[in-house]
């Protein structure tokens, strides 16, 4: 969210805050009937600005709450994608988000069993709502995540001997 704020000339810290808090109610209220509505009500009652409450409400795909602002569209666009990119990174031998390519994300999207809770339509719709090609959106988000990889736990690991053996066997099988 912070990276999209900078890209759009918006307040980086405010957008970062929205990115951090938008799902705070999800563990207690994971159903589509409750999330994000319970959380939005809590924010409203706690005196948060309406634009933050609106962004939280509109990051869900609910026709009753269409996304209007760049903040709302950006939150929707990165919400599921960051989790999906994280999953793609974690199945790579390096476990590093910096190693994730848009083509890897697109390939994993075709495997419905991979991160099966993620709606592929939402990943594509997010980029479309921002008016940018999906590959460009993925690359931008990966770059933003890579800049914070240590904090996200996605900086990667040194490959083990077993990882090198698997990689070498895969290469030999392709030849």
pLDDT score for 16:
97
pLDDT score for 163:
62
pLDDT score for 171:
59
Q: What is the mean pLDDT of the chain?
A: 92
Asked whether residue 169 carries a pLDDT value surpassing 80, the answer given is no
pLDDT score for 105:
98
Whether the upstream peptide bond of residue 57 has omega within 30° of 0, thus cis, is: no
Rounded Cα–Cα distance for residues 93 and 1 (Å): 27
Cα 164 to chain centroid, rounded: 29
Its pTM surpasses 0.85 = yes
């Amino acid at each position: 969210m912070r990276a999209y704020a900078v890209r759009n000339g918006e307040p980086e810290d405010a957008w970062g805050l929205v990115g951090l808090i938008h799902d705070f109610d999800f563990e207690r209220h994971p159903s589509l009937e409750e999330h994000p509505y319970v959380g939005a009500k809590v924010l409203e009652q706690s005196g948060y600005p309406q634009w933050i409450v609106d962004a939280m409400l509109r990051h869900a795909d609910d026709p009753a709450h269409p996304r209007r602002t760049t903040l709302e569209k950006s939150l929707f666009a990165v919400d599921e994608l960051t989790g999906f990119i994280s999953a793609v990174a974690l199945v790579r031998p390096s476990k590093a988000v910096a190693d994730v390519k848009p083509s890897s994300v697109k390939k994993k999207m075709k495997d419905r069993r991979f991160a099966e809770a993620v709606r592929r339509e939402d990943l594509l719709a997010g980029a479309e709502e921002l008016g940018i090609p999906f590959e460009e959106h993925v690359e931008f988000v990966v770059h933003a995540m890579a800049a914070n990889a240590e904090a996200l736990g996605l900086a990667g690991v040194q490959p083990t001997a077993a990882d090198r053996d698997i990689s070498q066997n895969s290469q030999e099988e392709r030849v």
